[in-house]
C-alpha cells in the first residue's frame, strides 16, 4: 500500500477510510523516500523543509479551505497536487461571522454575565445595546465564504460594500481602496485567504477609518489584521468592537486582548461543527482516494489546477 504521512489529527472516520488504502505514518517515524501522500490541516500545513525532504511526494490533501501553510507554488513547480476543502464549510463560517457580529452589537457576553451573576435582580436591567439592523457592512474578500456571509446577513437588511483585488459581477458597491471602504462602513468583515498578499492588510489606518463606532469581524486568518494596532485602537476607543475567530499567533491570545470588554473571542471554530467537520473530512479523504485511483483530484487549489 502507498505511504501516507499524517500531519496533525484526523478523525476516526477519516482514519478508517485511509487505513483501507494507505499505510499511515506519523511525523516522528517514516522513511522519506516512501512517502507519496500527505494529509494535513490548514494550521499545520507542510513546512518547506519537510516538503523539500520528500523526493517522491505526489499529493498533499489539506483539511480546510485555507492553505497558506503550504507553499502551493513550490508544490505546483514540483508537480505535487495540493487539495483543500472549499464550499463545504461556506455556510458554517458564514454563521460564525454573523454570530460574532450579532454578539458585538447586542453585547451578548455582557448581558449573559448580567443575568448569570445575579446583577439583574440586584441592580436592575442591563444597559441598552445597538441594533444590528440596517448597517453598512464592508466585506474584505468576496469569494465563496464572503458571498455566503452576505446571503446570511439578508434578514438584517444591510447595505453591502466589498473590497477585493478584482471587481466582481455582483450588485454591491465595489471599493478598490480598503481604507475608503472602512471609512464608509459600520462593520468590516475579513474573509480573504491568509498569506503574503493579505498580511496585516487591515492596518492601523484601516482600523482608524472604521472608527469608534465600527466593528471589526475576522473569520479569515489572524495574519490579515495588525493585531497590535487593533488592540491599541480597541483600548483607546479608536475602534468600537471586535469579534475574532482567528489570531496572529493562535492558540496564543494576547492577554491585553483577553482583558478587553469590547471583544468577542472564539478559538478558531469557524467551521467547527460536527456536520461541517464531517463533510470536510470526507472531502479530504475523497481527494486522496481519487488521486490513488486515477491520478485526478476533486478540489485542487488554484495553483495546482493544471497539474
Ligand atoms: O482579490 P480577488 O479578486 O482574487 O478576490 C478574492 C479575495 N482576495 C483579496 N482581496 C483583497 N486583497 C487581497 N490581497 C486578496 N486576496 C484574495 O478574497 C476573493 O474574493 C476572496 C477569497 O475567496 P475564495 O478564494 O473563494 O476563498 P473562500 O473559500 O471564500 O475562503 C476564504 C478564506 C480561506 O482562505 C481561509 O483562510 C478562510 O477563508 O477561512
Query: pLDDT of 264-296, one tens digit each?
Result: 999 999 999 999 999 999 999 999 999 999 999
pLDDT, residue 4, reads 98
Strand partners, 241: 215
Kindly state the cell numbers that stand for 192.
480573504
Domains of the chain: 3-88+274-304 (3.40.50.720), 90-265 (3.40.50.720)
**Can 275 be counted among the known catalytic residues?**
no
Task: Answer whether 41 contacts ligand 1 (Cβ < 6 A).
Answer: no
Q: What's the pTM?
A: 0.98
Residue 223 to residue 201: CA distance in whole angstroms: 8
What is the pLDDT averaged over residues 105-119?
Answer: 98
| pLDDT number for residue 222 | 98
Alpha-carbon distance values, 296 to 70, 81, 222, 288, 292 (Å): 20, 9, 32, 9, 8
User: What does the pLDDT look like over 150-175, one tens digit per residue?
Assistant: 999 999 999 999 999 999 999 999 99
Whether 181 is in the pocket of ligand 1, judged by its Cβ within 6 Å, is no
Confidence grade of residue 254 (pLDDT, cut at 50, 70, 90): very high
Among 37, 268, 277, 291, which one carries the catalytic annotation?
Answer: 268
Could you confirm whether 221 is annotated as catalytic? yes
By the 8 A CB rule, do 221 and 246 touch?
A: yes
268 is an active site residue:
yes
- Residue 160 sits at φ, ψ, to 5 deg, of -105, 130
Q: How confident is the model at residue 191 (pLDDT cuts 50, 70, 90)?
A: very high
Least confident residue range of 28-32, 164-168, 221-225: 28-32
pLDDT value, residue 227: 98
The chain-wide mean pLDDT, for the chain, equals 98
pLDDT confidence band for 90 (50 / 70 / 90):
very high
Q: DSSP characters for 239-307?
A: S-EEEES--TTTT---HHHHT-TTEEE--S-TT-SHHHHHHHHHHHHHHHHHHHHHS--SSB-GGGTT-
User: E-assigned strands of 199-253?
Assistant: 215-218, 241-244
Q: How far apart are CA 110 and CA 247, in angstroms?
A: 22
For residue 273, how many other CB atoms are within 10 A of its CB?
A: 15
What pLDDT is stored for residue 83 in this prediction? Answer: 98
Amino acid at each position: 500500500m502507498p505511504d501516507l504521512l499524517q500531519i496533525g489529527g484526523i478523525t476516526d472516520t477519516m482514519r478508517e477510510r485511509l487505513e483501507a488504502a494507505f499505510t499511515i505514518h506519523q511525523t516522528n517515524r517514516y522513511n522519506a523516500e516512501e512517502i507519496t501522500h500527505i494529509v494535513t490541516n490548514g494550521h499545520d500545513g507542510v513546512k518547506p523543509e519537510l516538503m523539500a525532504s520528500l523526493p517522491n511526494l505526489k499529493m498533499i490533501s489539506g483539511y480546510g479551505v485555507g492553505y497558506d501553510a503550504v507553499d502551493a507554488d513550490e508544490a505546483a513547480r514540483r508537480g505535487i497536487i495540493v487539495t483543500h476543502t472549499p464550499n463545504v464549510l461556506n455556510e458554517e463560517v458564514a454563521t460564525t461571522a454573523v454570530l460574532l457580529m450579532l454578539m458585538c452589537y447586542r453585547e451578548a457576553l455582557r448581558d449573559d454575565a448580567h443575568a448569570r451573576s445575579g446583577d439583574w435582580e440586584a441592580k436592575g436591567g442591563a444597559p441598552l445595546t445597538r441594533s444590528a439592523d440596517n448597517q453598512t457592512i464592508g466585506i474584505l474578500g468576496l469569494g465563496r465564504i464572503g458571498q455566503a456571509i452576505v446571503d446570511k446577513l439578508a434578514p438584517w437588511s444591510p447595505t453591502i460594500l466589498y473590497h477585493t483585488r478584482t471587481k466582481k459581477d455582483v450588485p454591491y458597491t465595489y471599493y478598490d481602496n480598503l481604507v475608503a471602504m472602512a471609512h464608509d462602513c459600520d462593520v468590516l468583515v475579513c474573509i480573504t485567504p491568509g498569506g503574503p498578499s493579505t498580511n496585516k492588510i487591515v492596518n492601523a489606518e484601516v482600523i482608524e477609518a472604521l472608527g469608534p463606532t465600527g466593528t471589526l469581524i475576522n473569520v479569515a486568518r489572524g495574519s490579515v489584521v495588525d493585531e497590535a494596532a487593533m488592540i491599541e485602537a480597541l483600548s483607546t476607543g479608536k475602534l468600537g468592537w471586535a469579534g475574532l475567530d482567528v489570531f496572529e499567533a493562535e492558540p496564543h491570545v494576547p492577554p491585553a486582548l483577553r482583558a478587553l470588554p469590547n471583544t468577542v473571542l472564539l478559538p478558531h471554530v469557524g467551521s467547527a461543527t460536527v456536520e461541517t467537520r464531517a463533510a470536510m473530512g470526507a472531502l479530504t479523504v475523497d481527494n486522496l482516494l481519487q488521486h490513488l485511483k486515477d491520478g485526478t483530484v476533486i478540489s485542487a487549489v488554484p495553483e495546482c489546477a493544471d497539474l
